């Protein structure tokens, strides 16, 4: 099978340098088919050994989990936060996490909003106190790509990124079975 055609130089220079410094120059001389075949053999071996180890270690992990649950129940029953001993310490940790409540509501003078919009409106209303440091943003790749497509012109043939974003490119090697 012939190699696929290139889609331009998609690999950033720094990544090329990193890859070139990490490889054995003799390996580059080997045919790609040979390297891919060896990769698949190693991957199958790794998967088999990982399954064997997982099966082997399961009783140990199950027993460890049972001990943790027993200590947890013991701490709750004894109304204690932990057990410092010569063998080590077991203790309870309280972990809080936050997620958007679609039922929550926020009202200000101009509007009433719910769910994600309630949180965003509150952050914007209290930007200096909470929003500027507390807001973490992520954006869906599909939205960015749509904006890029929508802003393509003769002057900007590749389109524009939404304000506040920069594009970083990383090229990964994937190996699949035939």
CA 22 centroid distance within chain = 25
Number of Cβ within a 10 Å radius of residue 26: 7
Q: What radius of gyration, in Å, describes the C-alpha atoms of the chain? A: 27
What are 17-45's pLDDT values in tens digits? 888 788 888 888 899 999 999 999 999 99
pLDDT given at position 68:
96
Structure-block tokens of residue 125: 């209303």
Q: Is the pLDDT of residue 8 over 70?
A: no
pLDDT given at position 174:
86
pLDDT classification of 178: cutoffs 50, 70, 90: confident
Number of Cβ within a 10 Å radius of residue 24: 8
Per-residue b or e along 57-78, where b marks 16 or more CB atoms closer than 10 Å to that residue's CB: eeeeeeeeeeeeeeeeeebeee
Q: Give which of 39, 21, 19 is closest to 31, Cα–Cα.
A: 39
Cβ pair 40, 175 in contact under 8 A = yes
Q: Is the pLDDT of residue 169 over 90?
A: no
Structure-block tokens of residue 155: 């002057």
pLDDT given at position 135:
87
Beta strands in the chain (DSSP E): 82-85, 88-91, 105-107, 112-114
pTM for this model (two decimals): 0.61
Domain boundaries, the chain: 31-95, 96-160
pLDDT given at position 28:
86
pLDDT given at position 21:
80
Cβ pair 105, 113 in contact under 8 A = yes
Cβ pair 118, 106 in contact under 8 A = yes
What are 83-120's pLDDT values in tens digits? 999 999 999 999 998 899 999 999 999 899 999 999 99
pLDDT given at position 9:
54
Q: Is the pLDDT of residue 2 over 70?
A: no
């Amino acid at each position: 099978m012939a190699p696929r055609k290139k889609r331009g130089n998609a690999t950033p220079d720094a990544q090329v340098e990193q890859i070139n410094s990490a490889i054995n120059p003799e390996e580059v001389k080997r045919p790609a088919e040979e390297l891919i075949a060896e990769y698949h053999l190693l991957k199958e071996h790794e998967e088999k050994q990982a399954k064997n180890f997982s099966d082997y270690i399961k009783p140990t992990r199950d027993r460890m989990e049972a001990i943790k649950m027993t200590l947890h129940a013991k701490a709750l029953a004894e109304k204690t936060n932990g057990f410092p001993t010569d063998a080590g310490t077991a203790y309870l940790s309280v972990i809080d996490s936050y997620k958007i409540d679609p039922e929550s509501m926020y009202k200000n003078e101009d509007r009433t909003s719910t769910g994600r919009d309630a949180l965003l409106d509150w952050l914007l209303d209290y930007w200096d106190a909470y929003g500027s440091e507390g807001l973490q943003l992520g954006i869906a790749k599909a939205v960015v790509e749509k904006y890029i497509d929508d802003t393509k012109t003769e002057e900007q043939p590749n389109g524009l990124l939404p304000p506040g974003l920069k594009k970083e490119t990383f090229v990964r090697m994937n190996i699949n079975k035939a």
